[in-house]
């Protein structure tokens, strides 16, 4: 074991054994989830009132933590009195739902797209186009116009009504839905914050009784409201272990705030820093260090790769329809994959990522596949926990189509026409589709059996008339490297979707102008675009490529030379 490996192992051991309240600041590839689960595995068996809560931000991380407990022969740690789940489910289960009035049924959704509500003034706009924000310091909720995404801005183009009218109407429509028992995670967080202030003993006493420690993974993804909730826990004496990396904070639209996190973690009794990167080469670690605050030294590369290739710089012309053409006249992603193969990295082990998915040349074949495969992809969207509203709706439509085939065998036409023929509301169908996906386990070779069993148990409309196994799905879901889309080329998705993932070779697409200037002059603590770049480059294990605008090639190569980062221009 090298000196660096010994230091990294000692850091991990300290993070595993240190007493809470504790803040663990962990670099990419440091094994954050390993630390959390290892702390949990140290829990003696059969201790009542000594449960632990392990909180993550994705369903995938949740499943991995529970599976690790079972794999270590400690299935007792995956159930009561312990809790392993997402932040949203923890807030709902312990801080919100037990304290809601019982005069109506309550339903929690990821976004208002599941309800299909609209806001009407001089035009009709979906409620999910509005972004609701909340300031826990003032207790004020707002709907800022600057939070609208590009497509939402187009919906308001030319409106004659002032924004305050739209904000008031959006709140009115949302409040009406809340009176009917509908909530999204945003409202759930606000209610949790309110309950902690209005009835602290009623909320906190059960938590103190059940949990000896609450551990939060990827804490940099916490919103300001979630930070305020954790701050209340800490002030009340609940033992917290907070694990995160502020340099990977890329959810500003979700109200993540670096200062709020820094101020909160400074209150915890001790801090352990994990600087051992078990993922990336020294060259990748050196480049990543230029994209974070504090001028800190590069992380310790302890991955043990047999090679350390230079960063590949690919001069690219970015055009419309997500076209990215290398200076050789060939598609930039293809050029990168060809160079990756020289390092014995196949295209299926490559990842192409960018800030916006619209700038990626996603192959049309990726949208294909048999029904079981399409459903598996829909499941992955819901299970990710970070998909946007459009992707969630698309996933629900895939699930809804499967349900219609089972409920109404032999029916033809679009889902809307089938719904109309059987007196079923499309919105209700999509909600059932979401519930269907949420009940499914992770895809596996015999997944169709689980799908068909779950499909039978989904609440069906009164007009449904299933006939035996008609509409059942068959075959294996193709969701690994055997997928034709994966076989044809690299995996592609935006940075927010691949956060927490990794690949042997990663190509970061940089089509935006001004990248070099921001990299040279701005502080990542204040510039989320630089933090997004940081997350992107740290997904790479062995080989990193950067597709840069032709006109920025000189500036970026000069920067890498100044930073002493080994690089090679592929012209």
| Between 411 and 448, the higher pLDDT residue | 448
pTM (two decimals): 0.75
Spatial CA neighbour of 539 closest among 566, 481, 492, 500: 500
- Residue 174 banded pLDDT, cuts 50, 70, 90: very high
pLDDT score recorded for residue 480: 45
Which tokens sit at 444?
């596996």
Q: How far apart are CA 558 and CA 179, in angstroms?
A: 59
Distance CA 505, CA 350 (A): 5
Token pair in block for residue 373: 């495969």
Residue 254 binned pLDDT confidence (cut-offs 50, 70, 90): low
Residue 210: is its pLDDT beyond 80?
Answer: yes
Give the lowest-confidence range in 139-143, 253-257, 494-498. 253-257
Whether 340 shows a pLDDT value over 90: the answer reads: yes
Bigger pLDDT: 570 or 463? 570
Most confident of 7-16, 249-258, 393-402, 452-461: 7-16
For residues 285 and 299, is the Cβ–Cβ distance under 8 A?
yes
pLDDT band at residue 369 using 50, 70 and 90 as cut-offs: low
How far is the C-alpha of 390 from the C-alpha of 170, rounded, in Å? 19
Q: What confidence score (pLDDT) does residue 485 get?
A: 38
Q: How far apart, in whole angstroms, are the C-alpha atoms of residue 109 and residue 142?
A: 20
* Third-level CATH fold of 3-91+198-277: Rossmann fold (3.40.50)
Phi and psi (nearest 5°) for 374? Answer: -65, -40
What average pLDDT does range 134-157 have in this prediction? 85
pLDDT band at 321 (very low <50, low <70, confident <90, very high): low
Output the pLDDT for position 47.
58
Per-residue pLDDT at 389: 67
Reply yes or no on whether the pLDDT at 571 is more than 60: yes
CB 560 within 8 A of CB 311: yes
Contact 356, 343 (CB under 8 A): no
Q: What per-residue confidence (pLDDT) applies to 335?
A: 94
pLDDT at position 362 is 67
Dig out the tokens for 296 from the structure.
Answer: 């800190």
What's the whole-number average pLDDT of the chain?
88
For β-strands 124-126 and 133-135, DSSP reports them as unpaired
pLDDT at 48: 58
pLDDT at 481: 40
- 487 pLDDT more than 60: no
Q: Domain 282-363+489-569: which topology?
A: Rossmann fold (3.40.50)
DSSP annotation of 47:
-
Q: CATH 3.40.50.300: which residues of the chain?
A: 3-91+198-277
* Dihedral sign from CA coordinates of 244, 246, 251, 254: positive
pLDDT digit string (tens) for 409-435? 877 666 777 887 888 888 888 888 999
Q: What is the DSSP string of 501-523?
A: --EEEEEEEE-STTHHHHHHH--
């Amino acid at each position: 074991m090298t000196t660096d490996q010994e230091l990294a192992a000692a850091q991990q051991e300290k993070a595993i054994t240190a007493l809470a309240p504790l803040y663990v600041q962990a670099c990419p590839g440091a094994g954050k989830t390993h630390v959390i689960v290892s702390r949990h595995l140290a829990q003696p068996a059969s201790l009542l009132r000594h449960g632990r809560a392990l909180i993550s931000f994705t369903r995938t991380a949740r499943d991995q933590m529970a599976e690790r407990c079972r794999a270590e022969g400690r299935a007792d740690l995956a159930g009561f009195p312990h809790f392993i789940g997402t932040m949203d489910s923890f807030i709902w289960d312990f801080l919100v739902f037990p304290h809601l009035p019982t005069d109506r049924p309550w339903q929690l959704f990821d976004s208002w797209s599941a309800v299909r509500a609209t806001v009407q003034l001089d035009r009709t706009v979906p409620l999910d186009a509005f972004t609701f924000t909340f300031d826990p310091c003032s207790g004020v909720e707002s709907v800022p116009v600057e939070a609208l995404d590009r497509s939402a801005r187009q919906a308001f183009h030319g409106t004659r009504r002032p924004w305050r009218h739209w904000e008031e109407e959006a709140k009115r429509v949302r409040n009406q839905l809340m009176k009917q028992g509908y909530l999204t995670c945003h409202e759930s967080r606000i209610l949790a914050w309110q309950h902690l202030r209005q009835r602290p003993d009623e909320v906190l006493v059960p938590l103190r009784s059940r949990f000896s420690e609450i551990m939060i993974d990827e804490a940099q993804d916490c919103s300001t409201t979630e930070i305020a909730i954790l701050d209340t826990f800490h002030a009340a004496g609940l033992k917290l272990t907070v694990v995160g990396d502020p340099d990977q904070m890329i959810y500003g639209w979700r109200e993540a705030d670096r200062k709020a996190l820094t101020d909160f973690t400074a209150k915890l009794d001790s801090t352990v820093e994990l600087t051992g990167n078990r993922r990336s080469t020294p060259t990748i670690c050196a480049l990543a260090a230029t994209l974070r605050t504090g001028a800190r030294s590069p992380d310790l590369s302890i991955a043990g790769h047999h090679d350390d290739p230079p960063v590949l710089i690919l001069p690219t012309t970015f055009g419309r329809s997500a076209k990215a053409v290398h200076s050789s006249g060939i598609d930039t992603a293809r050029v990168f994959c060809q160079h990756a193969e020289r390092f014995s990295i196949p295209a299926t082990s490559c990842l192409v990522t960018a800030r916006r998915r619209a700038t990626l040349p996603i192959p049309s074949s990726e949208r294909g596949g048999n029904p079981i495969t399409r459903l598996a992809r829909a499941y992955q969207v819901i299970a990710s926990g970070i998909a946007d509203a459009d992707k969630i709706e698309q996933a629900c439509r895939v699930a809804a189509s499967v349900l219609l085939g089972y409920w109404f065998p032999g029916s033809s036409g679009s889902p809307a026409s089938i719904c109309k023929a059987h007196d079923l509301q499309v919105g209700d169908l999509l909600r059932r589709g979401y519930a269907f996906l949420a009940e499914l386990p992770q895809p596996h070779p015999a997944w169709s059996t689980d799908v068909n069993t779950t499909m039978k148990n989904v609440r069906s409309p009164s007009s449904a008339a299933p006939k035996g196994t008609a509409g059942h799905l068959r075959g294996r879901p193709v969701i690994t490297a055997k997928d034709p889309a994966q076989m044809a080329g690299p995996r592609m998705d935006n940075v927010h979707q691949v956060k927490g993932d990794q690949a042997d070779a990663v190509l970061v697409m940089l089509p935006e102008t001004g990248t070099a200037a921001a990299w040279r002059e701005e502080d990542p603590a204040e510039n989320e675009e630089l933090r997004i770049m940081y997350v992107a480059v740290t997904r790479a294990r062995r080989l990193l490529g950067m597709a840069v605008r032709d006109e920025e090639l000189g500036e970026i190569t000069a920067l890498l030379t100044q930073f002493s980062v080994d690089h090679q221009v592929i012209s």
